Amino acid sequence: MRYKYEESLLSRLTAYAESDFYPLHMPGHKRNPGAFAKGEKKFNAAQQYRAEEVLATAARLDITEIEGFDNLHEPEGILKDAMDRAARLYGADYTFYSVNGSTAGLLTAVSSAVPEGGKLIMARNCHKAVYHAVYLRRLRPVYLYPETVRGLGIADALTAEQVKEALALHSDARAVLLTSPTYDGVTADVEKIAQVVHQYGIPLIVDAAHGAHFGFHPAFPDSPVHQGADLTVMSLHKTMPCMTQTALLHVCGERVSRSRLRMFEEIYQTSSPSYFLMAGMDRCIRLTEEKGAALWDSFTRQREDFLKRTKELEVLQIITAGRGDEAIWRMDPGKILIDSSKTGLTGKQLYDILLERYHLQMEMAAGNYVTAIMTCCDTKEGWERLAEALCRIDKTCGGQVIEEDGRVEKPYPKLDSGCSLSEALDAPVRMVSLSEAEGKISGAFINLYPPGIPIVVPGERLNGEAVELIESYRQQRLPLCGLRGEAIAILN
């Protein structure tokens, strides 16, 4: 079978599904729609048929590395073309596909840029995947703590001045890593930070998992790829029209070995990547290439209407770049943060009201706000339903203001190190109650999920502030990971 170089992966998969080639290979469903015919009985017949049809359609496009479909880990044909297309679109020198999400991209980036046992300067508000890379490579992390935005309790962006001071003290660092945009949508001045980092001849890694849409419309901040980042990790599935688990690792310049990137990419990704997911990635890239900024025109109009409608809210507040501390450099307009601190409601209580009463599933709840992620795929109905729900809730809230000290929490307390992260994760632990944990060394990550940013890192010594914050989150029934009931793992 011969194919055109410019042919999309989706069209090739579709043509193959319609052919008479019989699959004497993985996966086990053998592209047979009948494999999904016997489904669960909790749906009615019509619902069951539709659900099975979706699975059957996906199965017909789900193959392995067979003739004519290339190999993700040694791409020479259609997958190389797809990744080259992504690199051109984003302005990178090279782009790797990841079907293990941004997690695999971050593990690959850190492992490639920093030798085993090396020193990594990193933002303290990094995702757990970065800490996992620190553990696996036995790295020596130097944490930089972003300021907290006054009155909001969210992390601000790292600054070039912070990075400059850290590098002056740790000139043996082998890379710098920051998150931009943050989970809350706050962006750093990546260009200035890159200039500082490159003066030391080392790479800048940017976790832009939530910024795959940056740079495509004037409403958005520019992409870290354009601002000097050497390695940029982006999740297509978080903010673009693509499926869960799909991400990109962009490479710019020569500061990180391409061969080591390829080696670690192969280590951290499955050896059986989903062609169904990769076809979705290729389609997403092509769609963005075809439509350009127009893909987000509806988003910008709907967002403007939403902000006009919610401008008169009396107690609920929509957090935008113009609200709060001036230190916010720029916020992602796709992140809608709703502050509940003047309502008497915790973030979790507001989250539950939106879910149970209005059937609006928010992205997350924190101590005193909830987050919605809006993209080019949101409908007018979705924007209107959220605005209507907030207006109704605003009218029924009592307007009780939670005291300043009680509502504004630091996202993570500054803790002293009792031992290294690697030592702590390999050490025996015992369980103690939270009330007994102060002064002891943590043996586990403690974090809200989402977003997966550690409140406590293994090896850190728990202080009163950390214990109080964890207990506060537990009392609010936020999705706190790392505890066993009311007990926490500490080192023996």
Paired strand residues for 430: 490
Least confident of 5-14, 341-350, 384-393, 455-464: 5-14
Range list for CATH 3.40.640.10 in the chain: 78-292
Q: How many CA atoms lie within 13 A of 171 on its CB side?
A: 3
Residue 437: pLDDT band with limits 50, 70, 90:
very high
Average pLDDT over all residues of the chain:
90
pTM (2 d.p.): 0.92
Give me the phi and psi of 448, to 5 degrees please.
-80, 140
CATH class of 78-292: alpha beta
Range list for CATH 3.90.105.10 in the chain: 421-491
Do 173 and 167 contact (CB within 8 A), yes or no?
A: yes
What is residue 1's predicted lDDT score, i.e. its pLDDT?
35
Check whether 37 has a pLDDT greater than 80: no
**Whole-angstrom Cα distance, residue 149 to residue 375?**
25
Alpha-carbon distances, residue 68 vs 5, 82, 86 (angstroms): 11, 14, 20
What is residue 399's predicted lDDT score, i.e. its pLDDT?
55
Give the pair of three-digit tokens for residue 224: 């870290």
Range list for CATH 3.90.1150.150 in the chain: 294-405
pLDDT tens for each residue of 373-385: 999 999 999 999 9
Query: Which whole number is the average pLDDT over 161-185?
Result: 97
Do 343 and 399 contact (CB within 8 A), yes or no?
A: yes
Alpha-carbon distances, residue 260 vs 87, 134, 175, 220, 267 (angstroms): 19, 17, 15, 32, 11
**Whole-angstrom Cα distance, residue 138 to residue 164?**
24
CATH class of 294-405: alpha beta
How many residues can be counted in the chain?
Answer: 492
Q: Looking at the domain 421-491, which fold is it?
A: Molybdopterin biosynthesis moea protein, domain 2 (3.90.105)
Query: Which whole number is the average pLDDT over 366-371?
Result: 92
Query: Which whole number is the average pLDDT over 121-140?
Result: 98
H/E segment holding residue 342: none
**Whole-angstrom Cα distance, residue 219 to residue 388?**
24
Check whether 207 has a pLDDT greater than 70: yes
Strand 119-123 and strand 175-179: the pairing is parallel
Residue 45: pLDDT band with limits 50, 70, 90:
low
Residue 336: pLDDT band with limits 50, 70, 90:
very high
Residue 4: pLDDT band with limits 50, 70, 90:
very low
What is residue 328's predicted lDDT score, i.e. its pLDDT?
55
Give the pair of three-digit tokens for residue 174: 């082998």
Helices (H) and strands (E) in the chain, counts: 16, 18
Q: Is 447 helix (H, G, I), strand (E, B) or coil?
A: strand
Looking at per-residue confidence, does 78 or 51 come out higher? Answer: 78
